[in-house]
Amino acid sequence: MQHITASPGSMPLGVSDSPVYSDANNCDSGDLVADIAVSPGCNIRLFNNGETIFTEGSSADKAYIIESGYVEIFVGFGNESLHLNVLAPGDIFGEMGLIDASPRSASAKAIGPCRCIIVSATQVAERIESSSPLVRLLISMSLHRNRAYNAYLQTLANPQMRLPSPAATEKPYTRSHQYQQILADIKLESDLRNAVVNDELFLVYQPLLNLNTAKVVGFEALLRWQCPQRGLVSPQQFIALAEETSLILPMGDWILEHSCADLQRFQHQFDQLKPGSADFFISVNISVRQFQQPSFFERLIACTQRYGVEAKHIKLEVTEGIFLDEGEAIDAIDKCRAAGFQVSLDDFGTGYSSLNYLERCEIDYLKIDQSFIQKLCSSDRAQILVGSIIDIARKLGLPTVAEGIETPAQMAALRGMGCDIGQGFLFSRPLPLAEALALVGQPLALADCA
Ligand code: C2E
Ligand code: CA
Ligand code: CA
């Protein structure tokens, strides 16, 4: 046998016929083991000196963590076999075949008595499936490289063997839709990072109306991205990605900064018409991650102080997602409200569907999701739901906002149900700052819509 040492933990694996011992009392030999060998107790396998654990080419349904003893990994058979590595306690092996369902590309045998913890295919699959597409891609790539490396080592052991042709080494995953999507996301993410730095973002403002007086009472700040290569990109295309990455944090700071700067101008305009009025507000969307940031409150306060704007003119639009960590969310909301900010619950009815938090947490507005409003006049069930939401809100002393109003009939229905504030294309699309400023205090032609 020839000897070449490969990197530890890089070998793919097969299956042994050795007996399995259930031994829950022996699962405490280190963090790695404790993490992977979860309940209902870890399965232990014992191997004798020289015993084959699995052979190259066999199918893979489990991986192993060495608890005690040593394991030799090799490729090839008999005199032609090539020693690749010796693994020691703590090493994991046999994982590759579990990840990509390929046959073992090397063999493993015990050197001396050996005790291994079994990691099942399900345990591995569950963890991989819950990881991000990028992490899954990186795993696929490193598996591919390990397999190619094993193939290369085999050609050293058997000079008559040839390295696979370039066509045979083509990575199948590069053709998949998933891979193309990951590449597109990575490109989008790096363009978006530049967007924050290069000032390619801007805010537009959509008016919110008091449905009874038809007056514009505030605006929602909505993010836009003018990308030099892509043109105008809608937040629907990039906000989710920004939220998955840490990008939403600098982006969120940028939004706060610019909405406070713009609020200063709105306020000036409003004060000229109605000096001292507290009615006017701008709504700023705050993403879950941004809201959960420990320094969020301090950043918010610092921002309002920089621009000399008052908290009472700012509505923080948060989604039900923040209540996944209910205790923290309630504390953060209380803190913001105590400082004078208003908190509006956006997209109500679509997210974390428990009404618990409404009982435990005080907020200022309930914003009914536009998916309900769009079906309001075509679905009895949507009508019942919207009516009930408005009723519940009224009984809790919460004003309601309906977004996505597109037709006079939707507006009339909402008015009839007692909804307080409306927003939608029927009144106005989101506008550049200058056009929005011109609307301050103006009644929109609601009578025409009714
Ligand atoms: P959202 O917070 O629910 O914002 C309302 C969305 O509905 C906006 O889309 C708005 O333009 C659109 N809309 C308003 N009226 C109508 C209507 O009558 N019909 C229809 N079909 N749509 C209407 P937009 O600006 O594309 O924003 C989409 C989402 O992106 C927002 O949903 C919000 O989740 C996110 N987003 C936008 N700006 C920001 C931001 O500054 N920060 C954060 N964290 N998220 C933002
Ligand atoms: Ca919103
Ligand atoms: Ca919304």
Place of tokens 């003018």: 226
Mean pLDDT, the chain, as a whole number? Answer: 83
Q: What is the mean pLDDT of residues 54-65?
A: 91
Tokens of 171: 């990575």
Q: What is the mean pLDDT of residues 5-27?
A: 37
Nearest to 386 by CA among 395, 367, 373, 398: 373
Nearest CA to ligand 1 atom 27: 235
425 lines ligand 1 (CB under 6 A): yes
318-336 confidence digits (pLDDT tens): 998 898 888 899 999 999 9
Predicted local confidence at residue 244, as pLDDT: 86
165 lines ligand 1 (CB under 6 A): no
> DSSP of 373-389, one letter per residue?
HHTTTT-HHHHHHHHHH
Indicate if the pLDDT at residue 198 is higher than 60. Answer: yes
Q: What is the mean pLDDT of residues 391-417?
A: 95
Residue 28 to residue 47: CA distance in whole angstroms: 20
Confidence of residue 257 (pLDDT cuts 50, 70, 90): very high
Indicate if the pLDDT at residue 444 is higher than 60. Answer: yes
Q: CA 234, 235, 240: angle at the middle one, nearest 5?
A: 135
Q: What is the mean pLDDT of residues 75-82?
A: 81
From the alpha carbon of 243, which atom of ligand 1 is closest? 44
What is the distance, to the nearest Å, from the Cα of residue 24 to the centroid of all Cα atoms in its chain? 35
Question: Which amino acid makes up residue 396?
Answer: L
Predicted local confidence at residue 152, as pLDDT: 76
Domains 2-172 and 199-439 share a fold: no
> Is 120 or 399 the better-scoring residue by pLDDT?
399
For 2-172, the fitting CATH number among 3.20.20.190, 2.60.120.10, 3.90.550.10, 3.20.20.70 is 2.60.120.10
Indicate if the pLDDT at residue 25 is higher than 50. Answer: no
Predicted local confidence at residue 195, as pLDDT: 93
Count CB-CB contacts under 10 A for residue 285. 21
> Is 6 or 346 the better-scoring residue by pLDDT?
346
311 neighbors 341 (Cβ within 8 angstroms): yes
Count CB-CB contacts under 10 A for residue 9. 15
Tokens of 219: 């605006």
Indicate if the pLDDT at residue 126 is higher than 50. Answer: yes
Q: Which of 11-15, 159-163, 191-195, 269-273 has the lowest mean pLDDT?
A: 11-15
Predicted local confidence at residue 353, as pLDDT: 60
Nearest CA to ligand 1 atom 13: 404
Predicted local confidence at residue 278, as pLDDT: 61
257 lines ligand 1 (CB under 6 A): no
From the alpha carbon of 221, which atom of ligand 1 is closest? 41
Radius of gyration of the chain (CA): 30
Predicted local confidence at residue 346, as pLDDT: 94
Predicted local confidence at residue 99, as pLDDT: 77
293-306 confidence digits (pLDDT tens): 999 999 999 999 99
Predicted local confidence at residue 33, as pLDDT: 37
Residue 166 to residue 173: CA distance in whole angstroms: 15
Nearest to 240 by CA among 204, 289, 203: 289
Predicted local confidence at residue 241, as pLDDT: 87
Predicted local confidence at residue 169, as pLDDT: 58
> Is 35 or 257 the better-scoring residue by pLDDT?
257
130-142 confidence digits (pLDDT tens): 777 778 778 877 8
97-116 confidence digits (pLDDT tens): 877 778 888 899 999 999 99
186 neighbors 134 (Cβ within 8 angstroms): yes
Indicate if the pLDDT at residue 167 is higher than 80. Answer: no
- The CATH number of the domain covering residues in 199-439: 3.20.20.450
Confidence of residue 215 (pLDDT cuts 50, 70, 90): confident
206 lines ligand 1 (CB under 6 A): yes
Percentage above 90 pLDDT, the chain: 52
Q: What are the extents of the domains in the chain?
A: 2-172, 199-439
Residue 341 to residue 313: CA distance in whole angstroms: 7
Q: Which of 77-86, 281-290, 348-357 has the lowest mean pLDDT?
A: 348-357
Note the helical H segments in 378-419. Answer: 380-395, 408-417
CA of 292 to the centre of ligand 3 (A): 19
Q: What is the mean pLDDT of residues 189-208?
A: 93
Pocket-testing residue among 204, 209, 220, 222, ligand 1, by greatest number of atoms within 8 A of Cβ:
222
pTM of the model: 0.75
Indicate if the pLDDT at residue 151 is higher than 60. Answer: yes
Indicate if the pLDDT at residue 80 is higher than 50. Answer: yes
